[in-house]
Amino acid sequence: MAASQDRLRLARYYERTVDVMLLTLIIFAVAGATIFVMSVTIGDWEFWADWKDRRYWPLAPVAALLVFPAGISAAFWQRFRLPISCTAVVLLYTVFRWVSSYINFHLFGGYPMSFVWPSVFIPLAIVIDCSLVITRSVFLTGLGGAFLWGLLVYPANWPLLAAFHEPLTYNGEMLTTADLMGFQYIRTGLPEYVRVVERSVLRTFGDAVTPLTAVFAGFVCTLVFYVSWIAGSLLNNQAWVKKV
């Protein structure tokens, strides 16, 4: 009797250890991979305040960021019915970004944090995780949650970003505060023209840039979510140890 109780206690202990290790390992690995991939793909939009425009910044970073959280969600949902991986990965990613901005760009690079702050993504992740619980459907989560992930990145960041788009006159020119910071805080290898931001083009929807980009980002993110989810569940079924 006593021996079997001991064994049960031991089993519980192992389970708890496995739990902590697995959770930490997976979340840290995925968040680490995310920050690396984000840095090499869409880094500059995230690094500099004067890259956060109305057209590319609300689209490229948010779509790229979804890849890993959506893929890992497939595993966590199918294995454990746990709707936490999006939030966990994005939260850790955000913390990493603060540390990396602070150390690399502020301490070493010398730029003010005001010029290199990370964007807000955590609420978008909560929306996806909640959608999974509420709909219990991958299809509907992609259609609803992932769409909102893309749609809401601009409004979610607006309280941080709006002040950077306030106009000022400088040497007789009108600039945003973000543009002025880009001019004043010297980047030797990153001149003004390399910014991939909205430029004047002939287009019909003059004033509707932001809402149009938001809706488009929503569609793109729905697609990214489905593709990542499929890739995630394939990998999950291939590589996961069947029984721990």
Evaluate the CA torsion angle 150, 85, 236, 141 in order and state its sign. Answer: negative
Q: How far is 4 from 16, CA to CA, in rounded Å?
A: 18
Query: Does the protein bind other proteins through residue 95 (CB under 8 A)?
Result: yes
Query: Does the protein bind other proteins through residue 199 (CB under 8 A)?
Result: yes
Provide, rounded to whole angstroms, the least separation between the CB of residue 4 and other proteins: 19
List 8, 9, 10, 81, residue binding other proteins (CB under 8 A): 81
Query: Does the protein bind other proteins through residue 10 (CB under 8 A)?
Result: no
User: Tokens 């980009």 belong to which residue?
Assistant: 213
Evaluate the CA torsion angle 60, 44, 40, 108 in order and state its sign. Answer: negative
> Which residues from 11-70 bind other proteins, rule CB under 8 A?
12, 15-16, 18-19, 22-23, 39-43, 50, 52-54, 60
> Exposed/middle/buried for 78, CB within 10 Å: 0-12, 13-18, 19+?
middle
Nearer to other proteins, 25 or 234 (CB): 25
> Which residues from 114-143 bind other proteins, rule CB under 8 A?
114-115, 117-118, 120, 122-123, 125-127, 129-131, 133-134, 136
Q: How far is 130 from 145, CA to CA, in rounded Å?
A: 8
List 3, 159, 205, 238, residue binding other proteins (CB under 8 A): 159
Query: Does the protein bind other proteins through residue 152 (CB under 8 A)?
Result: yes
Query: Does the protein bind other proteins through residue 84 (CB under 8 A)?
Result: yes
For residue 152, give every residue at least 6 positions away whose Cβ sits within 8 Å of its Cβ, in sequence order, or none.
123, 124, 127, 214
List 66, 181, 217, 221, residue binding other proteins (CB under 8 A): 181
Q: How many CB atoms lie within 10 A of CB 5?
A: 9
Query: Does the protein bind other proteins through residue 100 (CB under 8 A)?
Result: no
Q: How far is 93 from 168, CA to CA, in rounded Å?
A: 33
Query: Does the protein bind other proteins through residue 238 (CB under 8 A)?
Result: no
